[in-house]
Structure formats: structure tokens, C-alpha cells
Structure 1
């Protein structure tokens, strides 16, 4: 009985180890392929909500007097969309040291220092450690880029207080045009900072 339990535990550990290696390999392949050493220029993107023209239905009394406009909220939800537009430029330097990728701003920039440890699968935004990583695959074009995209996202473990902003790093590649996307959410001197960068 004891031998069977030991065998089952070894099998579970082996399966977990294989799965972890697969994710690690995909993460390593993606980063090493898409993030090349050197200096890169990114557009700083801002987002705005675009609302399609929605015809308002009017509610009238028996005499034809308009009481108030009635808006179809479902139509607003279905027709509104987010669109990204460039609002500036940021230059970033990317450098590998063994299994550590360092992304730092060139010149004077508010962009934080980013580090990605490919061996441990962790990322850092300044001093904040992001230990949780997941693969992302957006399979429709209903987004600000109007493109499907794949990538990875790091974040820190959630605490009991859900109101606290948790730093987050997302790196992806758009399928439509092959552009690289980096999203950084972090806290700078108590203020929430949110950058969307696109090559």
C-alpha cells in the first residue's frame, strides 16, 4: 500500500513537472524570439471609447408631448468599442544577461525598469515581484488593436484587499501586423501608472 502511494505521488509530480517545463519552454521561446537585444522605439498608446450613433426612442404621453428620451442600453453596450491611438514615443533598451532580460527606458522617461527571469518565470516592475504568469491568446478582433494576439501576462498574488492595485506586465504579439505589445500597470509614488506600448 505504501509503495502504491509513493508511486502515485511520483506520477503526479512527474506530470506537474512536464506541464511546468512546457509552459516555461513556450515562455522562453516567445520572449527570446520576440524581444531582441538592442534599442527599440514604442508608441505610447492612449485608449478612448468609441460609441456608434444610437437612435434614441422617445417616450410620449397621449398628447404627443415628449416625456423623456429612452435609450437602449443594450445597444450602447453592443455598439461601443475601445480604440487605441498613439500619444507619444518611448525608447527602450533590451539586454540579456544569462536567463535575465532587462528592459530599461532610454533618456528621461517615466517608464519603469522591467526584468524578466526566464529560468524562474518571474518578472519585476521596479522592485515589485510578479510571480504569477499565464499564457494569453485573444482569438477575436473585437479589441482596441482590431487583431488577434498571443502573449504572456505576469501579476502578483492577490491579497484579501481587492481594492489595492496590483502591478501587472503583459507582453504580446499582434497577429494582424506582427507588432509587439507591452502593457505595464504599476504604482509610482502612490499613483497608478498604466502604459500601453506598441512597436
Structure 2
């Protein structure tokens, strides 16, 4: 099946029309007091990066305030223990363009931040983010180009924060099952799933 594509910005704009003032006046090139409050309350962000191999979007999460506001143009994100794929960091080292989307549980407002970043392993910088005696491997230092809130329609349409719509995890494939099915049981399985909670608790930071 061949699906016709829109290939002209003019055609696209003809379909959607002109953005209203509320869509444009919310954009800032630095952290405003209101945006500072949203950042401080967010425990979760999606980090988007790009590199020679393509795009990546990676979850980042910790207690609210884990995205450190260094000044009104600079954010810092410690890179905690993970799976060591370092897809996002590989991209940033080669292409500094990054984007963040922050979520706040219970809020219809999301926050979008675009800019450029570096990856640093500076010892003094790492020390600022020590948790339970453990240091992050690196810190992502982001310089903001633009920051703005996103309206709540996506959250409303998805009914994201409604407890009644939550999916029972028992009805979903587990990571161990996914790994086992993809590796002819060489990796994963029930043992992987049973060990995960303890492994996660020991390697959270």
C-alpha cells in the first residue's frame, strides 16, 4: 500500500492554519519563575537525542528536583545506574542537540525544553549529585534554547492519571518473557523476573 505524503511546508500549514498567541507567547529562551516551579515538581522526563545512527528517546526519572537548575539557562541531569547502552550519551557526544519533555503526575501540563548539551565526568560536578554514597557516571549539562509548556489535551485524551484506567501488569509480557522469546531462552526467563526487584533495589543509584 502506498500512502501519499505531505511534502511541502506550505501544504502542511494550509491544513493546520496559524498558531494562536497562546501557542507562541509561552515560549521563552530561559527558565521563568513558573517554569522553574514545573521543573522542580517533575520526577520524570523523556530525553530525545540524535546521532549518526538515528534518533533516541530515553526515560529519565528520580525524585522531584532530580533535574538540577544551575541557572536560568542551564540544566543538569545526573546519569544514574542503567543498562550501559548509553545510546543518548553516545548521541550527545557527537551531536549536541537535545530535547526534554517533563511530566508531573496529576498535572495536565507538560514542559518541553530544547537546546544543546555536553556530557561531563568532572569529579567536582559528579560529587554534587551523590546519592546514598553513590556518584553518577556522568552529568548531562544542557543549555536551553527554548522552553514552553504543552497544553493538556494529550493527557486528557489518554486519561493518563486516572487510576481506573491502569493496566494490570499481570496481563502484559514481562521483561524476562520478552528476552526469552527473542533469544530462544538464552537470556531472560522467570529467573530474570524474580531477580529483578532485588537487583533494581541494589543498583538504583
TM range (shorter): under 0.3
Considering fraction of residues, name the structure with more helix: 2
Considering fraction of residues, name the structure with more strand: 1
Larger radius of gyration: 1
TM-score (ref. length: structure 2): 0.25
TM-score (ref. length: structure 1): 0.25
